[in-house]
Amino acid sequence: MFWFWSSVILIPLLDQIFKFKVRTELSIGAEINTFIPFLKIVNVSNFGMAFGIMKGKSLLLVIATTLIILFLFYLVFTLKNKNLLTILSLAFLIGGGIGNLIDRLTLGYVIDYLKITFFPPVCNLSDYFVCLGMIFLLISFKFYF
């Protein structure tokens, strides 16, 4: 469970540190080039979820995210087959969900800051961990369930 708790704590912590730096050092819409040619750091306020859907439904998103996180915690502690891949996938989903939930609760929107030039939506670290968690979970279902 070390990897589970480490991920659940570190993902939102790192994401919030990056979001704080972006929020305090970049104006909305500003971009900074990085040493990676296809990656830019930007400051975007996201009032919806992926691709801007459910824009303006912050309370509904807070409730849904909280319920999903609670359900994922329930799964972690009730699963009989606790392989590392499944546990990590659930930890990534929970950690990513918490990272964005903190923004919704404190700001009313989510700060996105990672712009990959060949992938149109601007995302954040929590978003990428949610995606990675889903991929790991699908692989886990294929091999362990």
Calpha distance 142→88 (Å, rounded): 15
127 is catalytic: yes
Calpha distance 118→123 (Å, rounded): 13
Calpha distance 68→96 (Å, rounded): 12
| Three state DSSP letters for 125-136 | HHHHHHHHHHHH
Query: Helix or strand or coil: residue 39?
Result: strand
103 is catalytic: no
List the catalytic residue out of 22, 112, 126, 129.
112
List the catalytic residue out of 16, 122, 127, 140.
127
Catalytic positions, written as ranges: 112, 127
